[in-house]
Amino acid sequence: MPPTNRQVLLASRPTGEPSEANFRIVEAPLPEPGDGQVLVRHHYLSLDPYMRGRMNEGKSYAAAQPLDAVMLGGTVGEVVASRSPALAVGDHVVGMGGWQLYSVATPARGEVRKLDTSRVPLSAYLGPVGMPGVTAWYGLTKIIAPKPGETVVVSAASGAVGGVVGQLAKRRGARAVGIAGGPDKCRHVVEELGFDACVDYKAHPNVDALAAALREACPGGIDGDFENVGGVVLDAVLRRANAFARVALCGMIAGYNGAPIPLAAPQLLLINRMKVEGFIISEHMGEWPAALAELGELVARGELRYHETIADGLDAAPAAFLGMLRGAHLGKQLVRLI
């Protein structure tokens, strides 16, 4: 076991688009577990869009990422030292270990959870059988609640959350239409993930063109929208929404770097008597067991498809994170640490 722990810290807050200069990589002493604690060697680090929002100060649903502290993030790994009766050396766990090679956690506080990797790959617990998958499950089943024959649109459909939404919608008898950036991503959404159609927003760069493309892809209108992007994408979706359509507002990535994202025609919400509900999945922990049970079984049986984009080594995390924010990844962005 090495004597030091490698970490990525937030060195400064970005102004506009972040850069690698906002991060700092350091060596720190290897932490030792106290009574009731375990030392975890991380195997994979999850990179997620919500991390961009936490890099800023200001009002948000979560506290800002502290400066000069390890970047927050989900991890899966292996217990390498244990002073807890709940976990033994060799157990695989998931937790919020952050952007570092090792972390100390207290199982009794729920800081890590033991995993069964006999049927589900370890990395999948950061994707379809983890926070992204549960986010997809909750927004679709609890907010959109699609009926058979309805049409559900999913923005960022090639991402870790969006790809699960469409597949779950199909399993519930709905028609799934994705919105993604570029022909390769749209091809993946339809041919690999099984969506009925996918609209390339890059080929339709303004609201009129995108709304026209959605009209063609959704001839019966839109009954549910799982929204990850906002801005022009949401404006175009609202133009095609049916009466009593439901919007699960999960992310607004169009505004993450500070660009204004006003709603062009808010009157459509009233005209169509729509429900728009924002949600943060960490506020619905009571729903996680049911979601994970369904998602885990689907992945174990090979009935839920997913793709991983993997960067190798902790030093690659900042560049991989910035690439993810620009849409350079496909599916779930991970960093392999071992």
- Which tens digits make up the pLDDT trace of 140-180? 999 999 999 999 999 999 999 999 999 999 999 999 999 99
Distance separating the N- and C-terminal Cα atoms of the chain: 13
Cα angle vertex 279, ends 276, 281, to 5°? Answer: 155
C-alpha dihedral sign at 158, 160, 319, 232:
positive
Q: Going by C-beta distance under 8 Å and a sequence separation of 6 or more, which residues neighbour residue 121?
A: none
Q: What is the pTM of this model?
A: 0.95
* 70 backbone φψ class: left, alpha, beta (φ>0; ψ -120 to 50): beta
- Which tens digits make up the pLDDT trace of 72-122? 999 999 999 999 999 999 999 999 999 999 999 999 999 999 999 999 999
Confidence (pLDDT) at 259: 84
pLDDT band per the 50, 70, 90 thresholds, residue 58: confident
- Which tens digits make up the pLDDT trace of 232-268? 999 999 999 999 999 999 999 988 888 889 999 999 9
**Is-contact 161 128, C-beta < 8 A?**
no
**Is-contact 107 133, C-beta < 8 A?**
no
Confidence (pLDDT) at 255: 86
Q: Which amino acid is at 134?
A: V
Confidence (pLDDT) at 84: 98
The CA distance from 241 to 267, in Å, is 12
CATH topology of domain 131-282: Rossmann fold (3.40.50)
Confidence (pLDDT) at 1: 52
Residue 91: what are its φ and ψ, rounded to 5°?
A: -65, 145
CATH dotted code for 4-126+307-336? 3.90.180.10
The CA distance from 261 to 240, in Å, is 19
- Domain extents for the chain? 4-126+307-336, 131-282
Sheet holding 241-249, edge to edge: 197-200, 175-180, 151-155, 222-227, 241-249, 275-278
